């Protein structure tokens, strides 16, 4: 992680040094909205847990990440006309389906669980100009992720048995790897419109899953690690920089 951040900082520093005599590059503020999709291309969206075959009480749990969403504010700080640093803060909610069963007792149940994070990305962004108003973008970086709290859900089966699924975070803060590619349409008066795709891969498990099964005073436990990686479709809009014309405040005595 340390080496990766050093590489990103070095690239940006070299680019900035090479442009000592450049004209001032504008910075922009905007917002983004994105659905997030779990995929096996960059992670494992499903966790399967089961007790030992020799256990007198056997049960299984399947914990599957499904579609979630993310939104937030974005700041793009220009370094050159073709290089920028993009940061901001995003709210991300991952959703999970839970399936559980006790085959010997013909017990089957389902439930769901959501887990939220707050992410602060720092990405090195590179442009390729395709036409007068069209650009292709690619970015790479890392994000600091804040995990507010543990989560848990209890499932009643309609019998004396019940399940508890709990997600335990190892630390409040962690890091993700970010990669992004997309296309941008720029207008002077209406702002920038962006459509692209990105991938997010946590450097450590999103959380540890603990499962507790209770039946007539008997308890059994299972545990595993939840990945949390996802792909997303990104929609971004950046507000135009409007230059004020004329003097907004004239110096002189204040009169009533």
Confidence at residue 121, expressed as pLDDT on a 0 to 100 scale? 95
| Alpha carbon distance 109, 97 (integer Å) | 11
Is residue 154 a part of any domain in this protein? yes
What percentage of the chain carries pLDDT values higher than 90? 66
Residue 244, pLDDT above cutoff 70: no
Is residue 256 a part of any domain in this protein? no
| Residue 234 near residue 73, CB atoms below 8 Å | no
Query: At 157, is the pLDDT very low, low, confident or very high (cuts 50, 70, 90)?
Result: confident
- Looking at 18-111, list the stretches that DSSP marks H as alpha helix, in order from N- to C-terminal side: none
**What's the mean pLDDT in 210-222?**
88
Residue range 39-81, pLDDT digits in tens: 988 889 999 999 887 777 788 999 999 999 999 999 999 898 8
Question: Encoding tokens for residue 6?
Answer: 């050093």
Domains identified in the chain, total number:
1
Confidence at residue 203, expressed as pLDDT on a 0 to 100 scale? 94
Is residue 178 a part of any domain in this protein? yes
Comparing 82 with 193, the larger pLDDT belongs to 193
Query: Per-residue DSSP letters for 116-184?
Result: EEEEEEEEEEEEEE-SSSEEEEEEEEEEEEE----EEEEEE-SSSEEEEEEEE-S-SEEEEEEEEEEEE
Dihedral, 179, 184, 187, 193 alpha carbons, nearest 10: -80
Is residue 254 a part of any domain in this protein? no
Question: Encoding tokens for residue 119?
Answer: 């992410």
Average pLDDT, the chain: 86
Residue range 113-152, pLDDT digits in tens: 999 999 999 999 999 999 999 999 999 999 999 999 999 9
Is residue 243 a part of any domain in this protein? no
Is residue 207 a part of any domain in this protein? yes
Comparing 106 with 115, the larger pLDDT belongs to 115
Residue 99, pLDDT above cutoff 90: yes
Confidence at residue 98, expressed as pLDDT on a 0 to 100 scale? 96
Is residue 214 a part of any domain in this protein? yes
Is residue 10 a part of any domain in this protein? yes
Residue 4, pLDDT above cutoff 60: no
Residue 6, pLDDT above cutoff 90: no
- Give SS3 for 105: helix
Give the CATH number, domain containing residue 181: 2.40.160
| pTM, 2 dp | 0.83
- Give SS3 for 228: coil
| Alpha carbon distance 45, 35 (integer Å) | 15
Query: At 245, is the pLDDT very low, low, confident or very high (cuts 50, 70, 90)?
Result: low
- Kindly give, in sequence order, each residue whose CB lies less than 8 Å from that of residue 245, ignoring residues fewer than 6 positions away: none
Question: Which structural domain, as residue segments, surrounds residue 168?
Answer: 2-238
């Amino acid at each position: 992680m340390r080496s990766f951040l050093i590489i990103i900082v070095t690239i940006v520093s070299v680019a900035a040094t090479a442009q000592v005599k450049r004209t001032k590059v504008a910075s922009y503020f905007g917002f983004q909205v994105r659905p997030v999709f779990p995929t096996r291309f960059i992670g494992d969206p499903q966790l399967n847990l089961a007790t030992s075959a020799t256990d007198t009480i056997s049960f299984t749990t399947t914990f599957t990440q499904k579609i979630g969403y993310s939104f937030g504010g974005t700041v793009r700080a220009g370094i050159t006309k073709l290089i920028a640093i993009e940061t901001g803060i995003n709210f991300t909610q991952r959703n999970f389906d839970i399936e559980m069963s006790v085959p010997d007792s013909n017990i089957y149940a389902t439930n769901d669980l959501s887990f939220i994070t707050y992410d602060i990305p720092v990405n090195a962004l590179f442009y390729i100009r395709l036409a007068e108003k069209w650009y292709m973008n690619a970015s790479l970086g890392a994000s600091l992720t804040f995990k507010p709290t543990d989560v848990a859900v209890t499932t009643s089966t309609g019998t004396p048995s019940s399940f508890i699924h709990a997600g335990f975070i190892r630390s409040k803060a962690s890091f993700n790897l970010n990669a992004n590619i997309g296309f941008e349409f720029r207008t002077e008066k209406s702002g920038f419109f962006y459509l692209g795709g990105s991938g997010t891969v946590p450097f450590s498990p999103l959380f540890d899953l603990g499962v507790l099964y209770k039946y007539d005073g008997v308890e059994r436990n299972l545990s595993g690690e939840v990945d949390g990686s996802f792909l997303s479709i990104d929609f971004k809009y950046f507000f135009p920089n409007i230059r004020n014309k004329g003097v907004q405040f004239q110096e002189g005595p204040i009169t009533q």
